[in-house]
Amino acid sequence: MIKDVFHQITIEEKNMKNVQKKVPSLLLIIVLVGFPQISESIFTPVLPALSQGFHVSAQTAQLTMSSYFVAFAFGVVIWGNLADRFGRRPAMLGGIMIYLIGNLGLWLADDFNLLLAARLIQAFGASAGSVVTQTMMRESFSGVRGAQVFAKVSAAMALSPALGPLIGGLAQTYFGYRGVFSTLIAMATVILLYAGLRLPETRVATEYQQVNLWQLIIRLLTDQRVWAYSLVIAGINGILFSYYAEAPFIFIDYFKLSPIQYGALGLVIAFASLAGAMLVNRLVLRYTAVAVAKSGLVLALICSGGLLAASLQTSFIGMLVGIFGVFLGLNITLPMALNLALIGYEDVMGSASGMFSFGYYLLISALTYLMSRMHDGTITRLPLYMVGVIAAMLIVYGVTVRKK
């Protein structure tokens, strides 16, 4: 039945060989790649209310956060394959439809197990926004233009997780936790209508060839360049999510900031992301993408060392400067890594994007778990973690690039 639905959606795309290929707008790309992250972080401020409303422990309520990434990781593999089989547009629209169904399930759930099941459905559908959008970007933009587009989108990706708690907090304050679910339903409906009206098909209109996933997996696993970029992308995201997990203990518990003051520190990450995107737009006009990516890692490593020194001196301002520098460097590297990662996989771009995303999401999970194991209540653990992860990224990336 699902296959029939996809087949029906793709009828209009099958005779497009003589039609000039269109590319999605930058705004549409940002919307599609940003809503999965907003959907993940929007649950943060409502966890206590969910615990009370569904009569479960706080630890059980937190399953709505951790389970999201599990369903998301498997979703990117499936949607990537469907994007190759049926086209980018129908795969994306299908994912948003399932995402909407999951949000409706959240609103209707009167039992925590049903809520958790709806959350898994929501995450599975939302994962199309990540893998299919990146696939469309890679085949729509290349060279300098591709680097510039990935820089702008990477900045939006870094900003979008901060929007979730803000939106969720406002909805929770005025309408309760079901107000958050209603907000998600409204967001999914608007995105579905927007994509349905404006999203073009970017896949070259050729006869679909069945992708041998085992051959593709072996091809990816034996490609040192793919491993290097997977580590870089996972490392950058692992540092970002580890920061969000560890920073409250540093700035609220140790430096005694209020929650509102702590929330304002998100501007540091926001400005670093925007500054990184602006620098990339200029740097790619003068240097190769590989050189730009490496320079970002070098800057991040230097600044993480400064952050560690500031933490040893318990310098609040010094730590803020170090954090800004780390994320500035990482946001210079991230768009280059996303743009370069799957060059040479154009023949199976959808499936390759799915498998690649699945791999680095597993690495992100491992890296965030490592941070949780390192936590000891001091303010030096996060800087130490950053120094180690960034150094590993730089070594692996440098060796791989030199071999090329």
**Which region, left, alpha or beta, applies to residue 377 given φ > 0 means left and ψ of -120 to 50 means alpha?**
left
Q: How many domains does the chain have?
A: 2
Residue 12 placed within a domain = no
**53 and 111 in a common domain:** yes
Examine the fold and report which residue of 207, 233, 267 is the final residue of a domain before the chain moves on. Answer: 207
Instruction: Say whether both 223 and 190 belong to one domain.
Output: no
In a domain, 17, yes or no: no
Q: Which two tokens stand for residue 262?
A: 């702590």
pTM above 0.85, yes or no: no
**Alpha carbon distance 371, 373 (integer Å):** 5
b vs e for 152-178, b when ≥16 Cβ sit within 10 Å of the residue's Cβ?
bbbbbbbbbbbbbbbbbbebbeeeebb
- Whole-number Å distance between alpha carbons of 327 and 239: 9
Report H helices in 176-265: 177-198, 213-221, 224-248, 259-264
Q: Is 102 in the same domain as 224?
A: no
Regarding whether 277 and 180 lie in a shared domain, the answer is no
CATH number at residue 240: 1.20.1250.20
Residue 30, C-beta contacts closer than 8 angstroms, at least 6 positions apart: 152, 153, 156
Lookup: tokens for 14: 């099958």
351 assigned to some structural domain: yes
Burial class, 23, CB count within 10 angstroms (exposed 0-12 / middle 13-18 / buried 19+): middle
Domain hosting 306: range is 216-403
Is 13 a member of any domain?
A: no
Residues 382 and 297 in one domain: yes
Query: Do 195 and 228 fall within a single domain?
Result: no
Tell which of 164, 188, 207 closes a domain: 207
Contact yes or no for 297/393 (Cβ under 8 A): yes
Return the SS3 of 330: helix
Q: Verify that 309 and 391 share a domain, yes or no.
A: yes
d(CA 32, CA 165): 19
The pLDDT tens digits for 47-99 are 677 888 898 886 677 677 767 877 888 898 899 889 888 889 999 999 999 99
Same domain assignment for residues 198 and 229? no
Judge if 189 and 74 occupy the same domain: yes
Considering the domain architecture, whether residues 229 and 366 belong to the same structural domain is answered as: yes
Confidence (pLDDT) at 13? 43
**Same structural domain for residues 322 and 386?**
yes
Residue 113 lies in a domain: yes
Dump pLDDT digits (tens) for 333-370. Answer: 998 898 888 888 877 776 787 788 888 888 887 887 78
Domain-located, residue 37: yes
Place of tokens 């009828």: 11
Q: Which of 163, 183, 207 is the last residue of a domain?
A: 207
Are residues 197 and 242 both part of a single domain?
no
**Cβ neighbourhood burial of 200 (10 Å; 0-12, 13-18, 19+):** middle
Residues of the chain with pLDDT > 70, as a percent, come to 88
